Amino acid sequence: MAPKVSEEHKEQRRLSILTAAKEIFTEKGYEAFVMQDVIEATGMSRGGVYSYFANKEDLFISLLEHKQQQSSNELDTLISQNKIWDTIKMIVLDFKNAEHSDNQFAAAQVEFNILSRNSSNAKEFLQRRYQWASDFLCSLINEGIKRGEFSPNAPVHHIARYYITFFDGLSIESIFLKSQELNSDEQIDLFLGHLGSMLGVK
């Protein structure tokens, strides 16, 4: 006559699956991840997990959406309190100091991008996500222009995409190279120089 548990409880469950999944995706990457892992990690049953997420793809997309929501909020406050160029530098340099696990998860994401190219669901999601990232960067740059910090010498959306490309490239390579073989720090410095000159930072 009544639902067995509260919405809250279900949300809790969902979250605990997502949390466990994130850890496993980070550790093993996307392809190697199997549902069994999440079943063991949460202690739930096969059917239980499947009642929350239809499959691995659904699980991963939900995870990305969840993360996106979080970081979106954080960024808003960051921007309101700092110069745009300082914010950008902060984000970029964060990549240098990122936890190993952050890089590992970024790798899993790249892997997902690639492996999902034949899934129309995932592809649509990825295109939206790319668009979102690109738009976000554009709006960041435009805000900088409005505030008089930048006068770019290339179309804003090209700069934004160049930015994304560079970090996608770095993400892949960090998968199979140690950061000193890759010279990622130095590459990031070079990139930051180019970014500054494209934006015409004053």
Q: Which residues bind to DNA, rule: CB under 7 A?
A: 1-6, 9-10, 13, 34-36, 43-48, 50-51, 54-56
20 binds, among a second copy, DNA, none (CB under 5 to 8 A by kind): none
DSSP state string for 130-171: HHHHHHHHHHHHHHHHHTTSB--SS-HHHHHHHHHHHHHHHH
103 CB-near residues (< 8 Å, 6+ apart): 171, 174
In angstroms and rounded to an integer, the radius of gyration of the C-alpha atoms of the chain is 19
User: If DSSP codes are grouped into helix, strand and coil, which group holds residue 151?
Assistant: coil
Q: Give the residue, chosen from 58, 187, 192, 201, that forms a contact with a second copy under the rule CB under 8 A.
A: 187
36 binds, among a second copy, DNA, none (CB under 5 to 8 A by kind): DNA
Q: Which residues, in sequence order, are bridge partners of residue 201?
A: 150
Q: Which of 172, 57, 174 is nearest to 111 (CA)?
A: 172
The site string for a second copy over 35-74 (x = CB under 8 A, - otherwise) reads: ----------------------------------------
User: How big is the CA angle at 100 (ends 135 and 11), to the nearest 5 degrees?
Assistant: 65
Residue 45 or 197 with smaller CB distance to a second copy: 197
Binding of a second copy at residue 6 (CB under 8 A)? no
Q: Which of 148, 113, 108, 151 is nearest to 133 (CA)?
A: 113
Q: Give the residue, chosen from 64, 79, 182, 192, that forms a contact with a second copy under the rule CB under 8 A.
A: 182
Instruction: Give me the least distance between CB of 188 and a second copy, in Å please.
Output: 10
Q: Please, are residues 24 and 16 in contact by the beta-carbon 8 Å criterion?
A: no
Distance CA 112, CA 29 (A): 9
For residue 31 the two structure tokens come to 């392809």
Helix (H) or strand (E) holding 202: none
The site string for a second copy over 23-42 (x = CB under 8 A, - otherwise) reads: ------x-xx----------
Enumerate residues 109-168 that contact a second copy by CB under 8 A.
110-111, 113-118, 123, 126-127, 130, 154-155, 157-159, 161-162, 164-168
Binding of a second copy at residue 191 (CB under 8 A)? yes
Where do contacts with a second copy occur on this chain (CB under 8 A)? 29, 31-32, 107, 110-111, 113-118, 123, 126-127, 130, 154-155, 157-159, 161-162, 164-170, 172-173, 175-177, 181-183, 186-187, 190-191, 194, 198
